[in-house]
Amino acid sequence: MTDTYARTTADAWRNWAGNVTARPARTVSPASVDELAEALRRASEDGLKVKPVGTGHSFTATAATDGLLIRPDLLTGIREIDRTAMTVTVEAGTPLKHLNTALAREGLSLTNMGDIMEQTVAGATSTGTHGTGRDSASISAQIRALELVTADGTVLTCSATENPDVFAVARIGLGALGVITAITFAVEPVFLLTAREEPMAFDKVTADFDQLVAENEHFEFYWFPHTGNCNTKRNNRSAGPAAPPGKVSGWIEDEFLSNGVFQAACSLGRAVPATIPSIAKLSSRALSARTYTDIPYKVFTSPRRVRFVEMEYALPREAAVEALREVRAMVERSPLRISFPVEVRTAPADDIALSTASGRDSAYIAVHLYRGTPYQAYFTAVERIMTAHGGRPHWGKVNTRDAAYLAGVYPRFGEFAAVRNRLDPGRLFANDYLRRVLGD
């Protein structure tokens, strides 16, 4: 027995937001692909279901299991950088923050990314993590190949030319097809982005939404419920020079206001909901306009220390403004008190079967509530609006949809199911969440 298996445990598991818990029968941290395959064999012999887990940043129970929990802590690091193909191959358990800094040292970068970089590369891609982009899509869309250990212990490499049917679905696989052990991403020479953050009225940003998306490589905005105020962010490539935020001003904006003061405001709002509209008006005016230029991951990402629960839906891009206005109207006529901003981002269509942007240009509307705040009434009301527009829920964020609904909004749903049936006919990687969203 190796040291890896000697450290097998059966501790309870909890996700980042604290809204999902599980007590696996055992947890292992394999240090190699061979050890992983052996762990799957043992689990199958013992009648245990298997789920890989990352850092727990999903708000759904996609990684929860009462069987074997696979932690990727020892499957980390860069395997290879290919400067001819302009790719990097990285172990599945590598946190995005470590990948980003390692690539920067090599003068390289991913093209686009989300605003949180704590997740492992496998966890982020398996659930469809994305940023915002007019032309550049999610992290999963930047995958050029991946290595997958299937239910029978086979190590499968897939790409556009090798096992292409698996590649078409496994880039966002929800942990339903096997355990990813390595991912090859496309990279490019590191570049500079200029970020322009600016307050803007709700009516103006929604009226000019199409123009703002068209004119900027990366556009997003946040609307503060109970107000007519938004904060916008435009990221565009720059010739430089680099001009990062000053240490003091950056700390005030990103730590003191966006985390420290916001944490206190959320705590007060949870304790005394009647204060939330007044807090929202103050919060929406606290962040001032600023412009800065830096390498991509320092512009795309930001620290998120205030814990929350989130639901996000992808809509056809042309439906986003109408849906957001409906959300605003719903909040205004309801007794709800919403302490967190609503986030709006975009993505171009991609070719991944279960991508929320599969086959259509998309806009994302994300709603959040501070951890510990009852969220069901708000999320249910928002979800009703999103589904009326053919919305697709983010796989790693709170939703109540089932396989029957999802098969109707994903034209390639059956393609995913067929590959799953072939790779995992015995449903070794199943759990309650996957049974709901994928069926059995």
DSSP string of 62-128, one letter each residue: TT--SSEEE--TTS-SEEEEETTTTEEEEETT-BHHHHHHHHHHTTEE-S---S---SBHHHHHHTT
Give the pLDDT confidence score for residue 1 in this predicted structure. Answer: 34
Task: Please give the pLDDT value at position 3.
Answer: 41
Length of the chain, in residues: 440
- Report in angstroms the alpha-carbon separations of 289 from 132, 195, 197, 221: 20, 10, 5, 13
Six-digit token string for 134: 């007019």
For the chain, give me the number of helices (H) and strands (E)?
16, 20
- Which pLDDT score, from 0 to 100, does residue 304 have? 78
Q: Is 172 left (phi over 0), alpha (psi -120 to 50) or beta?
A: beta
Q: How far apart are CA 416 and CA 380, in angstroms?
A: 27
Which element (helix H / strand E) includes 281?
helix 276-286
pLDDT for res 164? 98
Which is nearest to 112 in space by CA: 99, 95, 124, 130?
Answer: 130
**Residue 83 neighbours by CB distance under 10 Å:** 12
Cα–Cα distance for residue pair 43/36, rounded to 1 Å:
11
Residue with tokens 């807090």: 279
**Measured between alpha carbons, how far is 173 from 231 in angstroms, rounded to an integer?**
33
Minimal CA–CA distance to 145: which of 157, 156, 133? 157
Read off the DSSP letter of residue 297: H
Rounded Cα distance between 400 and 379, Å, is 10
Rounded to whole angstroms, how far apart are CA atoms 340 and 266?
Answer: 8
Q: What is the pLDDT of residue 4?
A: 41
- Is residue 401 within 8 A of residue 387, CB to CB? The reply is yes
Q: Quote the tokens at residue 332.
A: 């205004």
Q: Is residue 354 a contact partner of residue 412, using CB atoms and an 8 Å limit?
A: yes
pLDDT at 9 (0 to 100)? 59
Q: Which of 4, 11, 150 is nearest to 69 (CA)?
A: 11
Q: Which residues of the chain have pLDDT under 50?
A: 1-7
